Amino acid sequence: MRIKPIYFLLLIFVFSSCNEYNKILKSTDRDLKYTYAKKYFEEGKYSRSITLLEELVTFMKGTAQAEESLYLLAQSHYNSRDYYSATEVFTTYYNTYPNGEYAEPALFYSAYGMYLDSPDPRLDQSKTYTAIVEFQKYIERYPQTERAEQAKNYLFELQEKLAYKELLAAQLYLDLGNYMGNNYESAVITAREAMKSYPYSKYMEDYQITILRARYEYALRSTLLSQPERYRMVVDEYFNYKNSFPEGKYNGEADRYYREAQEKIEILPTT
């Protein structure tokens, strides 16, 4: 079976490229290695630039290439989508060279890398909190830069993710009901705390209706002796919802809770 010329040439190129890279790895000439690290970076061969730069950055401390080599290593990790490692190196750069040539983009990308790595709201949000802290630091340090507005938008987006996580928690408590305790009260507390923490969130109405639902469900499942007081709590929360969202998307549902609560209050015996 004959190998087609185009494949033969491709094989030659691959082998020669690997041979070149292996020679560079074994070289003791650090200047040559740094030249090739930048070459591989420009060619988008980030795994190679990372390997070379991780070896070189320690030796380059105190030299003219110290800042650039550390920043290139961070960018290599970032471009290879290893955002966690990128953030670590960007942070190292910024802490080492707070007034360095690449300090501003390093601080921005340390936050942006964590933003990109921020997981689904149902998962642990450690990376989200890290990104928020870094974006806040960036905005304080560089309020007039072109990226400052981007940082504000990303910061708000991350805060909304945390707000949504709290909404999911409140809804989970609501769904659990009286299972192994009064989860309705936990739903109310979680939603109220979220309203304090995220007063400008788009989920404010969802928090408020969750509180009303929890009050209603708790009253519905209470003893006859306890129901009058708990239905009055439903009425109180109804007015809280209506005052905050007079044209709210849950108005029909809220009105139903209110009517049922009023009917119960009228017919149930009071102590």
The series of mean pLDDT values per 10 residues for the chain, 271 residues long, is 44 51 86 94 96 94 93 97 95 95 96 95 95 96 95 97 98 93 94 97 98 97 91 96 96 97 86 60
Q: What is the DSSP string of 157-170?
A: HHHHHHHHHHHHHH
Q: Pull the structure tokens for residue 146.
A: 């072109």
CA dist 171 and 185 (Å) reads: 12
Residue 27: which region, alpha, beta or left (left: phi > 0; alpha: psi -120 to 50)? Answer: beta
**Residue 28, pLDDT score:** 81
Q: Angle at CA 144, nearest 5°, toward 138 and 146?
A: 80
Residue type, 76: S
Q: What is the pTM of this model?
A: 0.85
Q: Which helix (H) or strand (E) holds 54?
A: helix 46-59
**Residue 271, pLDDT score:** 60
